[in-house]
Amino acid sequence: MMENQAKKLKRTITLVRILIKYGFEELLIRSNIRSLLSPSATEADSFESDGEKLSFNVYERIRMALEELGPTYVKFGQAFSTREDLLPKDMIVELQKLQDKVEPEALDVRGFIEADLGVEPDQLFKHIESEPFASASISQVYKATLKNGSAVILKIKRGGIREVVASDMLIMKDVAKLLVSYSEVFRKVNLVEVLEAFEKSIFHELSFLNELSNIEQFSRNFNDNKDIYLIKTYPELSNDNILCMEYVDGVKITDKPVLIEMGLEPAEIAARGLDLYLTQVLDHGFFHADPHPGNLLVLASGQIAFIDFGTMGSMMPKDKEQLEDFISYFIAQDARRLIAVIKKMAIRFSIPDETKLEKDIHDFFNLLEGSSLHQMDVKEVLSKFSGILNENEILMPEHLYLLVRGIVLIEGIGRALVPDLNIIESLKPYILKIALARLSPEYLQKKGIKFLRTMADALKTVPDDLVSIVSKLNSGELKVVQEVRELPALQERIVQGFNRTVFAIVLCGVWISSALLVLADKPPKWSGIPALAWIGFAISAVLMLILLISYIFGKKPGKKI
């Protein structure tokens, strides 16, 4: 604990020095960040602004300060580089300049491998380059050749990087709490929650075993897809500090002239890349969270290889289904249902005026209608929609923010290859696929059984709940004081609602039974479907019609129960 506090204090002093160097002393005073330092620390260090640095505008100075503060702050800035709904455009431009590239540090690669893996490098490798061909804030990457002649890369974690990130995160969380307490703006953008999601993401990226697991799951998902090249990994030569995988000799996906020289059609490559990404999101629910051009390589065969799996987006089946609903209602421009599914998806929301929210979304749809599809910028569309969510303090789960970033990057790649690419049009086949899947007997059977189980579980608890309520009423623990006007009308509505619920359960039962009969495949048949199933579906249709009429005209379906 004392060691962590000492590291935190040291990094805090560095933070204060750099902020003052770039002219942000007023921020320190307003947010009281200096309170994080002990008096002895502030007296021992003199902080002075750098006059040369102050000649740059404020957004340039923010970017330069983040770069000097190191990997944690650079990655945090990169995470906000697509949040045009939150930050000024000029600041977004500067954040997008942030490069996760640092000078390589001296490293005895062979000695590191021997110490960390416990094996003699010459037993496994024919050759290992002593200088890295890529150097980032978290790791350095070296080319090597295995004894069997296979070309591989060795991704080696920088020494002490986990400790640096851990101390940075402690400071950033303290600063976030101060900023939230001093400014309503930071509270509304959910700064603390955003920072928690970022912390989770960066520590996942620090674990090479986590990245290895991501690559293996990604490969299983695309096992039968010929359009993608799946990178081979070497688990026996990997651990939490070293990741060994196949070296892929490919071309950056946005290098259009080289693609044409290779005899490849840029439009086909763009369509293939978009299709592969949408497959990850809508089919697998497990997607690459940073698909920038440097992480997508094109091989001579036309296959696309994704690299760098440190951060992935992941969705549970429920999340994926809600995303499908969101996309369907968005494309259909159904504002009311869109708001309903947003509430289900949100971690937290505070909608002051739902009617205004619905109107804002309708206005947003009208704006889209008035724009030419081929001129539509997905980044701008998502930014405007995120702005509507932020006004209502709607906090969405982390995987959605990762998805938005991914879609913006993929659309940028597509437009670099095909200027008039329209990603909205590309989504429509997936919407049709989702709609057809939800009309299948298997899906209806699954949802019907789930509904009946939910109802059965609810009904099981009703007797016990009633007994408990009556017991509390008798003992005087629970008292109900309520004035009910127009009681007969209220009783009528309650009975009517109960009747409709029971009627709906019967309707579901008949529909599910009919679907099961389809799967049973028993004669006699008509158009390939058993006659009994047709009868069941017909009864279901009649019952549905009666139920709809009862809702429209206020009549009860059947006698009172």
Residues contacting 281, CB < 8 A, separation 6+: 287, 313, 323, 403, 406
- Residue 512 tokens read as 């599910």
Active-site residue flag, 457: no
3-state helix, strand, coil in the chain (%, to 5): 65, 10, 30
Alpha carbon separation from 324 to 213, 338, 428, 496 (Å, rounded): 26, 11, 12, 34
Running DSSP on this structure, what letter comes out for residue 281?
I
Catalytic position from the list 85, 100, 174, 290 = 290
Residue/partner pairs of 216-224 with CB below 8 Å, 24 or more apart? 217/286, 218/286, 218/288, 218/306, 218/309, 218/312, 221/280, 221/284, 221/286, 222/276, 222/279
**Angstrom distance (rounded) from CA 399 to CA 379:** 17
**Angstrom distance (rounded) from CA 211 to CA 238:** 10
H/E element, 173: helix 161-182
What string of H, E and C letters represents the secondary structure of 371-413?
CCHHHCCHHHHHHHHHHHHHHCCCECCHHHHHHHHHHHHHHHH
Q: For residue 157, what are the β-bridge partners?
A: 139
H/E element, 10: helix 2-21
CB 453 within 8 A of CB 509: no
First-to-last alpha carbon distance for the chain, in angstroms, is: 67
- Identify whether 524 is preceded by a cis peptide bond (ω within 30 of 0): yes
**Angstrom distance (rounded) from CA 394 to CA 299:** 42
What does 483-530 look like in DSSP terms, one character per residue? --SSHHHHHHHHHHHHHHHHHHHHHHHHHHHHHHHHHHTPSSEETTEE
CB 310 within 8 A of CB 428: no
CB 28 within 8 A of CB 19: yes
Rg (the chain; Cα; Å) = 30
What string of H, E and C letters represents the secondary structure of 213-260?
HHHHHHHHHCCCCCCECCCCECHHHCCCCEEEEECCCCEECCCHHHHH
Q: Report the half-sphere exposure of 471 (CA within 13 A, side-chain side).
A: 6
Q: For residue 286, what are the β-bridge partners?
A: 314
Residues contacting 179, CB < 8 A, separation 6+: 31, 186, 191
Residues contacting 91, CB < 8 A, separation 6+: 59, 62
Candidates 377, 189, 210, 174; CA nearest to 289 is: 210
Residues taking part in catalysis: 290
